[in-house]
Structure 1
Amino acid sequence: MARLKPRLATPRLAARALILHEDRLLLVNAYPGARLGLWCAPGGGCEAGQSLPQNLAREVMEETGLTIAVGPPVLVNEFHDPDTGFHQIDLFFRCTLEDGDLDDSWVDPEGVVTDRRFFSRVELAAGHVRFKPDSLPDAAWGAGAAHYDPLEVILK
């Protein structure tokens, strides 16, 4: 009997922030209970009717308590789980910190982010920090940028 492949759902779209502050990159451990020990750029799923930058600023505030200015997109990354069919497309934007601090009193209202921390490029290159995607340091410290055409209302 042939093994059935899982039914693939529509890909989830997420926006992520590459925030460099004092030459360190902000990453979050966005897994309840820190069960994977995996770090990623803050951000999350996009809601319809809001621009990608609006979604991203909201997600970063929820996950870190920080206010950011969203700049240009610099990386598109996809991942999927062949066992479940989960498929996500992450759009990474270069962002700047506008207000806030990473103080210990902050709690993610969704209970997903368990830790937030700035990492140096040297720390990430040393191999002691598990992060995804692999191209994260190059995107964060690189100079390239992609063009972004902001959300527009469809013409009728």
Structure 2
Amino acid sequence: MSAASLATRPAARILLVDGCNRVLLFRFTPPDRPPFWVTPGGAVDPGESYEQAAARELAEEVGLAIDCGPQVARREVEFLTLQGVQVLADERYFRIDIDTCVVDPAGHTDLERQVMREWRWFERAEIDRWAEPIYPADLVAMLDATDSSGPHDA
């Protein structure tokens, strides 16, 4: 299927970085493919801006009710949704630097509770050598490009 024939899926994703310079990732375990890790975030709801979606997703998935600030990155990528639909995702990224955070899964949807039961904070050096796929594939470069303190050693 060509990218031109795919449905576009607008999405807001969050680069949540703690005071130890680690990034929060969620492990997805869909029944139809191997597990993978992704940043918090998800689809933009009808009538919602990317900024509103980022704040909603952060509150639902992490339990943080804060402003996500401006978009810091954008990418388009084809992927298979958890519902089995091939889409062209228009992903907008928001970076949030916090001292510390404990994930509160109370806002997770039923589907998220089924496939997203694990999360952890990753050091940059762990990302490239992790045994399971991590998305976005260029996460370390994206973190470096959006870090106001400059690049870090991996």
Cα shift at 1:81 = 4.7
Q: In the alignment, is residue 134 of structure 1 matched against residue 137 of structure 2?
A: yes
CA RMSD in angstroms comes to 3.2
CA distance in 2: counterparts of 1:134 and 1:81, whole angstroms: 13
Match of 2:24, SS? strand
Match of 2:92, SS? strand
- Measured against aligned partners, the alpha-carbon deviations of 1:114-152 in whole angstroms (never above 9, x if no partner) come to 22211000111334342012111111232479xxxxxxx
Q: Give 5+ residue unaligned stretches, structure 2.
A: 149-154
Q: 1:84 to 1:26 in 2, by over 3 A?
A: closer
Q: 1:111 to 1:84 in 2, by over 3 A?
A: closer
**Which one has a bigger Cα radius of gyration?**
1
Tell me which moved more, 13-22 or 126-135: 126-135
CA distance in 2: counterparts of 1:117 and 1:123, whole angstroms: 12
CA distance in 2: counterparts of 1:84 and 1:111, whole angstroms: 15
Match of 1:134, SS? coil
CA distance in 1: counterparts of 2:119 and 2:57, whole angstroms: 14
CA distance in 2: counterparts of 1:129 and 1:78, whole angstroms: 22
Match of 1:56, SS? helix
Question: Corresponding residue for 1:61?
Answer: 59
Q: Give 5+ residue unaligned stretches, structure 1.
A: 146-156
Cα shift at 1:12 = 0.6
Pick from 11, 19, 25 the counterpart of residue 16 of structure 2.
19
Q: Which letter does structure 2 place at the counterpart of 1:120? A: E
Question: Corresponding residue for 1:93?
Answer: 94
Question: Corresponding residue for 1:28?
Answer: 26
Give TM-score scaled by structure 2 length: 0.72
Q: 1:35 to 1:29 in 2, by over 3 A?
A: farther
What are the residue-to-residue correspondences of 1:1-156 with 2, within 5 Å? 5=1, 8-22=5-19, 23-32=21-30, 36-81=34-79, 85-97=86-98, 101-102=102-103, 106=106, 108-112=108-112, 113-143=116-146
Give TM-score scaled by structure 1 length: 0.71
Question: Relative to total residues, which structure has the larger helix share, 1 or 2?
Answer: 2
Count of aligned residue pairs for this structure pair = 140
